[in-house]
Amino acid sequence: MNSCTPITKKGSRAVSAEFAGLAAQPALSRADLIRILGAREKSQIEAVRAEAERVLLRNCGNGVYLRGLVEASNACACDCLYCGIRKSIREVNRYTLTADEIVACAKACSEFGYGSMVIQSGERSDRKFIDLIVEAVHRIKRETRTSQQPEGLGVTLCIGQQTRETYERLHDAGAHRYLLRIETTNPELFAKIHPGEQTFESRVECLRLLREVGYQVGTGVMIGLPGQTLGDLADDILFFERLDIDMIGMGPFIPHPGTPLGTAECPDIAERIRLALMMIAATRLKLRDVNIASTTALQALDPVGREKGLKFGANVIMPQVTPQDVRRDYQLYPGKPCLEENARECQSCLGMRIEAAGRKVGYHAWGDSVHARRRKAVPDDSR
């Protein structure tokens, strides 16, 4: 902002007219996105935030959709340089829930009115594990049918890169959304934070496969990675647009001391929180009708981070339903919140937090993104 930029008062918050105009532009360019992501003055940030919230409410409505998160296994075949459950960390106590345990978590989601669940795990493609997830999804779809949700819970999977055949089996079992973060769309940075056998190209190929198989596809990135630039983050948003992505999950990078990136230089905590919020806002402004999650990593750095995410344009929250005795073993990064609360405590706490952000919980709904519904022209609004 230069000294001539007029500032208008709106309520008690100062709003930069220049940034209000910028955020309201219909077709944001890469350069516009970089300027938005770089906003630092309170009045600039507020202008961008307010416009992102307006765009969200206009395109997606007031609802916040919940996906109960089950961390089904922390066993992992990958060795990502940032991740607290990477295979080479021997101190991690490895666990895999049984199908009965996963189904019990699904029933808890149904009882809480969550409408959808996410089954997340370390990346494994062995037959035994895939069979387990296929069985769990089958049973969840059959055993969570209620009068409020005759088609059962919506099931989203987040279990990494798999073959086309595996994606098809899981889709046939009834999973209809899949999350696979690209982590960063800068191929050189991707190569720096992953071991050689994991390639940027194969992950992009998986995103294409998922779409072909018929999933609603989600992706996302970590924000504030060592060496990541505002240009990289703007490119991430343009990548989401190019791949016609339906849902986004992204959050700040949090160095894990037991990993090779544990001591790498990255922006300080306040800056990573700012960047993560501005990424949510800029993604909302650019993509408009996608679902955007306000992620746990944001809450790990800021006790009210998830509520802030909602105010900056997010509309999905993933409450914990993982059995309490294994939650501690699934720590991708330090400072993971909700380690002590049980699932019911998480539920009542969340409802209050969402309403405090001036929004309404979309209970008993799959909460598919407007973007996915438009693309598929699914007529049933209740999804």
Site residues, ligand 5AD (CB under 6 A): 82-83, 181, 183, 222, 251, 253-254, 256, 297, 332-333
User: Which two structure tokens, joined as six digits, stand for 154?
Assistant: 């919506």
Contacts of 220 (CB under 8 A, 6+ apart): 179, 181, 182, 248, 249, 250, 251, 293
Task: Give the amino acid at 82.
Answer: Y
Give the three-class secondary structure for 71.
strand
User: Which two structure tokens, joined as six digits, stand for 156?
Assistant: 């989203």
Residue nearer to ligand 5AD on the CB measure, 52 or 254 = 254
Contacts of 138 (CB under 8 A, 6+ apart): 173, 174
Residue nearer to ligand 5AD on the CB measure, 122 or 362 = 122
Residue nearer to ligand 5AD on the CB measure, 139 or 203 = 203
Residue nearer to ligand 5AD on the CB measure, 46 or 183 = 183
Residue nearer to ligand 5AD on the CB measure, 141 or 336 = 336
Q: How far apart are CA 55 and CA 20, in angstroms?
A: 12
**Which H/E stretch holds residue 59?**
helix 42-60
Give the number of residues written for the chain.
Answer: 383
Residue 334's nearest CA partner among 85, 74, 72 is: 85
Residue nearer to ligand 5AD on the CB measure, 9 or 90 = 90
Least gap, CB of 19 to ligand 5AD (angstroms): 28
Cβ-contact 301, 274 below 8 angstroms: no
Least gap, CB of 79 to ligand 5AD (angstroms): 12
Least gap, CB of 336 to ligand 5AD (angstroms): 10
Write the DSSP symbol of residue 221.
B
Least gap, CB of 57 to ligand 5AD (angstroms): 28
Q: How far apart are CA 239 and CA 185, in angstroms?
A: 7
Task: Give the amino acid at 164.
Answer: R
Residue nearer to ligand 5AD on the CB measure, 251 or 362 = 251
Least gap, CB of 118 to ligand 5AD (angstroms): 10
H helix count then E strand count, the chain:
15, 12
Least gap, CB of 136 to ligand 5AD (angstroms): 19
Least gap, CB of 320 to ligand 5AD (angstroms): 14
Q: How far apart are CA 314 and CA 316, in angstroms?
A: 6
Q: How far apart are CA 359 and CA 362, in angstroms?
A: 9
Least gap, CB of 366 to ligand 5AD (angstroms): 21
Residue nearer to ligand 5AD on the CB measure, 190 or 253 = 253
Residue 320's DSSP bridge partners are: 69
